[in-house]
Amino acid sequence: MRFYRAALGCVFLSLFCLHAAAVSAQPRAYGARDLFGRQAVLPGKGVDEPYPLPDSLLISGSETVYLNDSLLTREAGYTLDYVRGLLRFSTVLTVSDTAVVRYQVFPFHLRTSYFHPLRTMTPDQIAAADTSTAPPPAPGSGDTPLFDTGSLRKSGTLIRGITVGSDRDLSVQSGMNLQVEGRLGRNMDVLALLSDQNTPLQPEGNTATLQEIDKVLIQVQNPRFTATLGDYELNLGGGRFGGYYRKLQGARLEGRLSDERGVVSGAVSKGEYHTNFIPGQESNQGPYRLSSKEGRTGILVLAGTERVWVDGQLMTRGENNDYTIEYGLGEITFTPRRLITSDSRITVDFQYSDEAYGRDIYAAQAEGRFGASGGVRATLISESDARNSPLTFALTDSARSALEAAGDDPATAQVEAVDSVETGQGTYVRETASWGGQSHSIFVYVGPDSSGYLIVAFSYVGAGEGDYNREASATDFYYTWVGPGEGDYSPVQRLALPERQRLANVEAWVNPTRSTMLKVEGAVSERDRNTFSPLGDGDNVGIAWAAEGQWNGLRAAPGDSASYDRLGLTANVRQVDDRFTRIDRIHQVEYDRQWGLEGAQSEQETVREATLSTRPLRAWSGRTTYGLLDKEQDGIHSERWSHESVFSGARLPTVTAAADWIRSATEASGRQGVWTRGRSTAGYRWKRWTPSLFYEREHKRDDYADSTGGFLFQAYGTGLEYQAGPLKLGTTQELRHDQTYRQNVLKEHSDAWTSTWQADLAAWRNLSGDVLYTHRVKGFTEADSGDLATDLAEINLGWTPWRRLADVMAHYRVNSTRVSTIVQTPVFVGAGQGTHVKVGDLFFPDPDGEYILVAQSTGQFQPVVELDGSLALDLDPHRLPREEQEKIAGPWKHLASETLLNFSEKTREREVWSLYLLDFSRFQGDSTQYGNLLLREDLFLFRHRRDLSFRLRGEISQSLSNLYLSGGQETRRRLVSLRVRRAFDARWSAQAEAGQETEERVYRAGSASDRDIQTWKASLEPTFKPRREWELALRLVGQQDDDRVENLRALRYGAEPRVVRSFTEKGRVEVRGEWHHVATSAPELPYEMAEGDPPGDNFRWDLRLDYRLSKYLTAGVSYNGSKDAGRNAIHIGRAEVKAFF
């Protein structure tokens, strides 16, 4: 291993030095272009589906696509949707294929759609611009589109196809993607995004903007109305009680007049609204799991519906911002740019797929304004579950009876979930166990293919509310009895209660004078927690109201455009009864903290607040608030004072100060509490320097009858920032001292030091990048508590020196996260329908497999240090201007190289600095949960010549995974190969490749045997093109595999003919065949040998016809199959027609 590393390192170093010497006399590089290059590596999936690229809105024609190092041409080898960034290959990529895509994007952010208010036009302008008055095109002027939509801009495809094959039923494929936009008549714009493909894929939550590939939408708008049909977001602005936001699927109509506006919406909801409050953890950036209203985790969060706050500050999604989210698992992970500690307060609003019932939503809002003197707004919202159409259970008579008898108590809505089957068909048996001197009938798991005669379903019933706990095996989950009230699960099926929630809200405001405003708001809510049952319906209806008054006056310099109000007064009062149910957020993010509330359960409250705003000077403003809150239902009372001041102006320091004083009491516990908070900051910009200071203090004391609780912390910090042109440097240092009440006295608890350093460089001499490093140490005074250290780092670098002769891209990241063990459950789906095949106790990737593997988290997390990084170096004199290439002496101008280093490590290693400094000898050790390392060096001679080119490749890769309960696996791979391409003339060419590969696999559990396979392989592929439209090729292959563990040898050789007939601007026919013979003295071979082929003769064949029937219509037919030695033949036929708009 060290020899290979040293050899590749020498090749890279020597080549770099040679190129550096060759260009050392060149003039200074010119400025970077205004286009950004990107590269994406796409491993094959074995399925026929588009591959989404990380970016959308690509620059047309800027892409180059390589498949296994072979350059593909557009249309023949792939198609690319530049707007959505979707790449589709002409052939199905197997799991062993790898595609590399290079493309360019604009150096500024663009959305895929923009909507602007329509410009008012005079009748003469309308007549001149109205496309309906344009003369029709002359007959025969060109092809007529399949679907003529007049002057509208349209694009899309319509697909119809069938598939038939061995061991599968005939299936019909249907797909439509259509985008239409433009003007229909006078002042009428239309936008249509149509698709009949309902993909279950959620967009990746690692970018600031999301790419929803299955959105369906028709929108028509003019200055007076907007009509929307399909997928849309309903965002109703309102007062405190009437605000509403949902992602819906249905219809929306909005009408507008000069002073009136109305919205009507009817739709089905994709999800349910919920809020999670999550305390941060020290040295843990995530994942933090979101939970449903019932406490379930692993939920499906609707993409783009989440709003995340940390300490009351709204976060931004994206790997280069604050957090990323796995929508399919409901897990949030914070990036190194947002430090999470045990003092962090995380709040998340989101919508998730409940999957219990379909949900119907109807909403209407009307608003009228009386000029500048006032207005009125009314909102009606109704959400109801489709109770007669449950999605997760059958509505049998017993289920209906259970729901009717449950009332509003979800814990009693359940039915027995035990089915008796024939012995050997079940997974549980019934036995008797003793607990506390009593006998209990319990279910015992015996596994599949055993003596089991019962199939039992279990439901989560709450912590400590059940008798069973969930356990994980290598391939599945099962449940074990732990005693009455000792577990979290029961052998019942919980039935979700169908709910209905309604809200009516009316608000009115009036402006008696230019400086005053009065506003009142009233809301009525109804929530029926079980529409099957009238039991408990007496508390369904609740009322809330609010009133507010504002006055602003004593203007400074009246009549001056820069004048301001010296004094302002705001007073408001609101009352919410205990039966009122909010339908969306109605409070500030940290409302409980703002008022010092503890143990509040009810929405009931009465709040009175008054705020005095002052601005005695232009540079100085302040605001003081006094409020009273009473929650009679919970017996909580709170009084609050707050003040904040800001001093800021040109050539003046910026100083802010804020303070809160809260006195609260809880009758039930006898608590009397006082909470004081204060924070102040100061900063001043002097030339290129900006120093700053801040101080924060909180003291919370809660007195009970026999004890005192609370805490006190003080935080001191300083910062310094330097900015000069494209360079920006900054650092912050913070010390926090915490004390807690123990035995009624404040005692030392912890000290934390947090240090952050960052640097940003933007496009300076072809160099750009950013560096961020955060180091935090928290020490505890308790003798049995060790210090906790957190290191977060991120480095991004892009460099194109020497007139882009070299292209360097580097990335490095350190994060503190958690990983969970994973159960992989195999699901049999039929021959040719899956992605894996089973050999012994192991599953191997195979595009014609019969199993799919479903990965599920056990929920048992452990902290790890996560490192990932990459380095890509491309040296190529061909990118230099022609005159500069001629200055490079001898053969060096024909040399090029590509170096790629990728690594990823998740480890529990405590001595982490050797990992941070990339001591690869410490990677993938005993503490590693997952690790991957790849080093590849390609050396090219005559890289861009068509007649003759050489490529020498060396590659080392090793991986280790201990995440799966089925056992760990370690893989080490080494490869050396030489490829030669030769074009003898316009008709004859050939490619030859030879190499040696060694692969070692070590299985750390299970009955699988370790492997150490050495492979020698060679191939020769002559290609003959007698005419432009014909291509004939024959690839001859041979390889020898030796397993040095079991002393096995296999010889595999064969031929792979290929014939391609192209029809100019019409299509192509391609016929491929493969014959491979595997010779060995062993009766059978491990799947890892001989490319997975069994001993004997193995055949593959593939026939494809793609033909363009017209400019807007194409047809395709394919037939492929396989016949392995000792196995039945598999045949698959497909036919497809595509229409283009």
- The pLDDT tens digits of the residues spanning 366-388 come to 999 888 889 999 999 999 998 88
What's the pLDDT score for residue 880?
85
Rounded distance, CA 421 to CA 428, Å?
A: 10
> Which percentage of the chain shows pLDDT scores above 90?
44
Tokens found for residue 1018:
């060679």
Q: How far apart, in whole angstroms, are the C-alpha atoms of residue 87 and residue 315?
A: 31
Higher pLDDT, 133 or 855: 855
Q: Cα(742)–Cα(747) distance, rounded to whole angstroms?
A: 6
Q: Are residues 95 and 6 in the same domain?
A: yes
Tell me if 134 is assigned to some domain.
no
User: Can you tell me whether residue 4 is helix, strand or coil?
Assistant: helix
State whether 6 and 90 are in the same domain: yes
Average pLDDT over residues 599-612: 88
In this prediction, residue 699 has a pLDDT band, given cuts at 50, 70 and 90, of very high
Residue 295, classified by CB atoms within 10 Å of its CB into exposed (0-12), middle (13-18) or buried (19+), is exposed
In a domain, 920, yes or no: no
- Number of structural domains (the chain) is 3
Q: Where does residue 1125 rank: exposed (0-12), middle (13-18), buried (19+ CB within 10 A)?
A: middle
Q: Assess whether pLDDT exceeds 80 at residue 1094.
A: yes
Over range 676-689, report the average pLDDT.
Answer: 94
Higher model confidence: residue 186 or residue 641?
641
Is residue 753 domain-resident? no
484-511 tens-digit pLDDT: 989 999 999 888 899 999 999 999 999 9
pLDDT band at 600, cuts 50/70/90? low
CB 776 within 8 A of CB 782: no
Model pLDDT, residue 1013: 93
Q: Residue 437 above 50 pLDDT?
A: yes
**Structure tokens, 929:** 């949960």
* Chain centroid offset of residue 392 CA: 26
Q: Please give the pLDDT value at position 130.
A: 38
In-domain check, residue 478: yes
Instruction: Give the burial string for 240-269 (b: 16+ CB within 10 Å, else e).
Output: bbbbbbbbbbbebbbebeeeebbbebebeb
Q: What angle do CA 186, 190, 196 make, to 5 degrees?
A: 155
Examine residue 621 and state whether it is found in any structural domain, yes or no: no
State yes or no: pLDDT of 925 exceeds 50: yes
What separation in angstroms does the CA of 1100 have from each of 168, 308, 694, 1119?
19, 52, 71, 11
Residue where a domain terminates, one of 332, 353, 374: 353
pTM of the model: 0.80
Residue 482 lies in a domain: yes
| In contact, 579 and 539? CB cutoff 8 Å | yes
Q: Is residue 279 part of a domain?
A: yes
> What contacts 638, CB < 8 A, 6 or more positions away?
595, 596, 597, 628, 629, 630, 662, 663, 664, 665
Residue type, 756: T
**Has residue 11 got a pLDDT over 70?**
no
Which pLDDT score is estimated for 141?
42
Output 694-700 pairs: Cβ under 8 A, ≥24 positions apart: 694/718, 694/719, 699/674, 699/675, 700/596, 700/673, 700/674, 700/675, 700/676
- Cβ proximity of 661 and 640 under 8 Å: yes
Integer CA distances (angstroms), 819 to 787, 922, 934, in order: 22, 20, 22
Last residue of one domain, picked from the residues 463, 494, 525: 494
| pLDDT tens track for 378-430 | 999 999 998 888 887 888 888 889 998 988 888 888 888 898 998 888 999 99
Written as six digits, the tokens of 1127 are 């196995």
Please name which of 772, 769, 757 lies closest in space to residue 722, comparing C-alpha atoms.
757
pLDDT value, residue 63: 84
pLDDT band at 922, cuts 50/70/90? confident
Could you tell me the CA-to-CA distances from 816 to 208, 863, 1071 in Å, in that order?
22, 7, 52
Beta bridge partners of 814: 793, 867
| Arithmetic mean of pLDDT over the chain | 84
Q: Give the mean model confidence (pLDDT) for residues 860-869.
A: 90
SS3 state of residue 579: coil
- Are 193 and 230 a contacting pair, CB within 8 Å? yes
**pLDDT tens digit sequence for 18-48:** 333 333 333 333 333 334 677 777 877 666 6
Distances (CA, A) of 693 to 626, 650, 716, 733: 28, 19, 8, 10
**Beta bridge mates, 595:** none
Average pLDDT (453-479) is 88
Q: What is the 3-state secondary structure (H, E, C) of 907-971?
A: ECCCCCHHHHCCCHHHCCCCCEEEEEEEEEEEEEECCCCCCEEEEEEEEEEEEEECCECCCCEEE
* pLDDT the model gives residue 855: 73
Residues 57/105, Cβ–Cβ less than 8 Å: yes
Q: Using the predicted structure, report yes or no on whether residue 128 has a pLDDT greater than 60.
A: no
CB environment 502-530: b (16+ within 10 A), e (fewer): bbbbbbbbebeeeeebebebbbbbbbbbb
List helix spans (H) across 372-412. Answer: 397-406
Q: Which amino acid is at 948?
A: L
346 and 423, same domain (yes or no): no
pLDDT tens for 938-958 read: 999 998 888 999 999 999 999
96 with 14, same domain: the answer is: yes
pLDDT exceeds cutoff 80 at 1131: yes
With the C-alpha atoms ordered 427, 431, 434, 439, is the resulting torsion angle positive or negative? positive
Specify the range with the lowest mean pLDDT, choosing from 45-49, 119-123, 823-827: 119-123
Q: For 136-160, what is each residue's pLDDT tens digit?
A: 444 444 444 444 444 677 777 878 8
Which among 211-215, 298-302, 609-613, 780-784 has the top mean pLDDT? 609-613
Q: For residue 821, how many other CB atoms are within 10 A of its CB? A: 16
Among 494, 527, 546, the domain boundary falls at 494
377 in Cβ contact with 365 (< 8 Å): yes
CA distance 1111 to 1065: 9
Total length of the chain: 1141
Determine how β-strand 788-799 pairs with β-strand 806-828. Answer: antiparallel
Structure tokens at 274: 């919920």
Work out the pLDDT band at 207, boundaries 50, 70, 90: low
Q: What SS3 class is residue 109?
A: coil
Strand order in the sheet with 288-289: 288-289, 331-334, 323-326
Structure token pair of residue 198: 């309902």
List the single range of 203-217, 257-271, 385-399, 994-1008 with lowest mean pLDDT: 203-217
Residue keyed to tokens 């305390």: 279
Strands (E), 577-707: 605-617, 620-631, 636-647, 654-666, 671-683, 689-703
Average pLDDT (685-703) is 94
Spell out a b/e string for 1007-1029, using b for 16 or more CB atoms within 10 Å of the CB, else e. ebeebebbbebbbebbbebeeee
In this structure, are 428 and 346 located in the same domain? no
Greater model confidence, 1139 or 847: 1139
Distance of CA 1032 to the CA centre of its chain: 45
Q: Is residue 299 part of a domain?
A: yes
Q: Are residues 90 and 13 in the same domain?
A: yes
Q: Which domain holds residue 286?
A: 273-353
- Three-state secondary structure call for residue 156: strand
Q: Is 469:482 a contact under the CB 8 Å cutoff?
A: yes
Tokens of 836: 């894996």
Q: CB of 406 within 8 A of CB of 497?
A: yes
Q: 1091 in the Ramachandran plot: left (φ > 0), alpha (ψ -120 to 50) or beta?
A: left
Chain center to CA of 102? 22
pLDDT > 90? residue 1040? yes
**What number is the average pLDDT over the span 609-634?**
92
Question: Is the same domain home to 347 and 430?
Answer: no
